[in-house]
Amino acid sequence: MTNNSLGIMQGSTVEASEMTVDYHHSAESTHHGHPDHRMFGLVLFLIAEGMIFFGLFAGYVLYKSMMPAWPPEGTPEMELLLPTVNTVILVSSSFVMHMGQKAIKKNDVSGLQLWFIITAIMGAVFLVGQGYEYTHTGFGLTTNLFTSAFYALTGFHGLHVSFGLLLILAVLWRSRGKDHYSSESHFGVEAAELYWHFVDVIWIILFVLVYLLS
């Protein structure tokens, strides 16, 4: 084989390698250049969940308007102190969680973990408070229409708080990986925060309807 032939083959190999690298780089750029629909999907999910809650709220208001007395006579009076404290804790936790997102936007993973841990504790305290309230209401699920609606609304919301806690714990677990979250890549953090804000807004509406206006 002549030197010229060898040179041509080597040149072709180098050119092919460069074309392969360029192809993969182009494919990667195209992939990352696609619009990120994950947040859009999450928003649609929250809208669907919101419609379920508002359907329950509408049913509650309808039942209330049809009853001669609400809550029905004989229903033990509910205490407002614990639900009010719970409300303050849950609403405050949204501001605490937002501090975590601000931290990761500065590449402060430790700050993210600290604020999310505090948020998780506050969420857990809320659930414990709700459980304590359930054991001291003085009425059961089937006592009357009001009590059934009370447990359905607060229980369904508590389920969402529990799921939100799982999201927070998932973010904390994944944040252990090196550079998993950064100022450039933190969708999981934003998704957990948006979901938590949604849970808080629903609770505020629920608290006004069930506790303050009953």
Query: CB neighbours (10 Å) of residue 193?
Result: 22
The pLDDT > 70 percentage for the chain reads: 84
Query: CB neighbours (10 Å) of residue 173?
Result: 10
What is the mean pLDDT of the segment spanning 117-121? 97
Structural tokens at position 4: 């010229």
DSSP assignments along 141-167, one per residue:
TTS-HHHHHHHHHHHHHHHHHHHHHHH
Residue-level pLDDT at 182: 84
Which candidate, 4, 166, 172, 161, places its Cα nearest to that of 94? Answer: 161
Mean pLDDT, all residues of the chain: 85
How many angstroms separate the Cα of 164 from the Cα of each of 30, 161, 190, 192? 33, 5, 12, 7
Which candidate, 148, 143, 151, places its Cα nearest to that of 75? Answer: 143
Residue-level pLDDT at 214: 80
Q: Is the pLDDT of residue 23 over 50?
A: no
Q: 213: pLDDT confidence band, cut at 50, 70 and 90?
A: very high
Cα separation, 131 vs 125, whole angstroms: 10
Q: 29: pLDDT confidence band, cut at 50, 70 and 90?
A: very low
How many angstroms separate the Cα of 173 from the Cα of each of 77, 93, 109, 121, 188? 42, 19, 12, 15, 11
Q: Report pLDDT digits (tens) over 129-175.
A: 999 999 999 999 999 999 999 999 999 999 999 999 999 999 999 98
How many angstroms separate the Cα of 19 from the Cα of each of 9, 11, 23, 28? 15, 12, 6, 14
Q: Is the pLDDT of residue 15 over 50?
A: no
Show me where the domains of the chain are located: 1-34, 38-212
**CATH fold of 38-212, please?**
Four Helix Bundle (Hemerythrin (Met), subunit A) (1.20.120)
More confident residue, 60 or 183: 60
The pLDDT > 90 percentage for the chain reads: 71
Please report, as a single letter, which amino acid is at residue 172: L
Classify the phi-psi angles of 72: left when phi > 0, otherwise alpha if psi is within -120 to 50, otherwise beta: beta
